Amino acid sequence: DAGITQSPRHKVTETGTPVTLRCHQTENHRYMYWYRQDPGHGLRLIHYSYGVKDTDKGEVSDGYSVSRSKTEDFLLTLESATSSQTSVYFCAIRLAGGSYNEQFFGPGTRLTVL
């Protein structure tokens, strides 16, 4: 998994509660991404980061925020979780050296919002 870990791996929470998912990488990659995976939609980009404190929105960013205070950690926060945010969340990194380089994915976090 390219040195990528995600925590927690599973979480059940209630509507309206804040949730933070963590992505940790050990190889000093500059680019990191958060996706959600839902049946019939494939993977959709939530937010991404191109360096410490440098982040940008993806196609489904509403209701999510991110932070990257150090290279190895990229946090995804649901400020007030809703049932529509029940999903599997994947973190990915992209190798530097070319914008066409492939991404490598973490093992995922399964989030259930009741």
Partner 1 sequence: AQSVAQPEDQVNVAEGNPLTVKCTYSVSGNPYLFWYVQYPNRGLQFLLKYITGDNLVKGSYGFEAEFNKSQTSFHLKKPSALVSDSALYFCAVRTLSPGTASKLTFGTGTRLQVTL
Q: Give the footprint of partner 1 on this chain (CB under 8 A).
A: 1, 4, 31, 33, 40-45, 48, 50, 56, 58, 90, 92, 94, 99-100, 102-108
Question: Could you tell me the smallest distance in angstroms from the CB atom of residue 28 to partner 1?
Answer: 17
- In contact, 24 and 72? CB cutoff 8 Å: yes
Minimum separation from the CB atom of position 34 to partner 1 (A): 11
- Give the nearer residue to partner 1 in terms of CB position, either 15 or 101: 101
CB-based contacts of 42, cutoff 8 Å, min separation 6: none
The strand pair at 64-70 and 87-94 is best described as unpaired
